[in-house]
Amino acid sequence: MQNNGTLYGTLYIVATPIGNLGDMVPRAIEILQKVDIIAAEDTRHSGNLLQHFCINTPTTAYHDHSDDARTQSLLERLASGQSIALISDAGTPLISDPGYRLVHEARSLGIRVEPIPGACAVITALCASGLPSDRFSFEGFLPAKNTNREQVLAAVKEDPRTLVFYESPHRILASLESVITILGGDRYIVLARELTKTFETFIAGSAQEVLDTLNTDANQKRGEMVLMIKGFETVKIREISQDVERILLLLCEELPLKKAAALAAKITGLKKNALYQLGLELTQPNH
């Protein structure tokens, strides 16, 4: 692509390891060695990676707080024919990392944007979770404030897709408590931590079981995490026997629906959420 007779450079989006340096792909090393400059989320953090692979390319900081002037400076370099590699602290850039503005503006100017694939925590965690992966929704980080976090979870409560969130060690307990409050303690989840590192761990079970595990083992609260939640399952009324319906209706005569469903779940061994939905169906005026 030319700009007034000058060839544009290329903006490379380069994935880097999320933990194990052995996951660095050869093409990524080649690109980082040959570009004119590397735009890194944190130049000090990336310095260790570059030193390990003997990459001496100059670096410049580019992150969420970079202003328009920094974006414009990089675009001017590309327009003058220089090539730039964009990297984040770990994994694939732009996946809950900075870079969107630069890529968007580069494309709008006709500058070539070339992805160099590699590690991505979302996919790494999901493929080993055992949860359905044919349809999933990546939701980034849950909000830090309790009210906002619960609003986000309420909005996806009945989403049938597997839900994937990033989470940090100092917020994981609060997030799991919010999952229990909004989605129910019996919702099946998988928590992946320290992916590709020495203490990589997958903890699976109900939200309440996973929370209990973290509360009893402080080591499980360390490291960056990926929280995966099984999608909402629609109640299949026909699969529930008339005896279960009778039990639930009798309990509803004496208790609020939420408590009746919880007690019916203990009696029958069925899911509390399923029985709650059934109760809504059975107690409708026209039922």
Q: Given this model, what pLDDT does residue 239 score?
A: 58
Tokens at 91, concatenated: 């994994």
Q: Where are the alpha helices (DSSP H) in the chain?
A: 26-34, 43-52, 68-79, 100-108, 121-127, 146-155, 172-183, 207-216, 242-254, 257-268, 272-282
Residues 173 and 169: their CA atoms lie apart, in Å, by 8
Q: What is the pLDDT of residue 112?
A: 96
Spans in the chain with pLDDT lower than 70: 1-6, 98, 235-240, 284-287
Position 5 scores a pLDDT of 43
Tens-digit pLDDT profile for residues 218-243: 889 999 999 999 999 875 554 567 88
User: Can you give the pLDDT at residue 235?
Assistant: 56
Number of Cβ within 10 Å of residue 275's Cβ equals 27
Residue indicated by tokens 């090539």: 83
**Per-residue confidence (pLDDT) for residue 281, from 0 to 100:** 79
CA dihedral 125, 53, 41, 142 (to 10 degrees): 10
- What distance in Å separates the CA atoms of residue 142 and residue 23, rounded to the nearest whole number? 27
Nearest to 64 by CA among 39, 99, 90, 88: 99
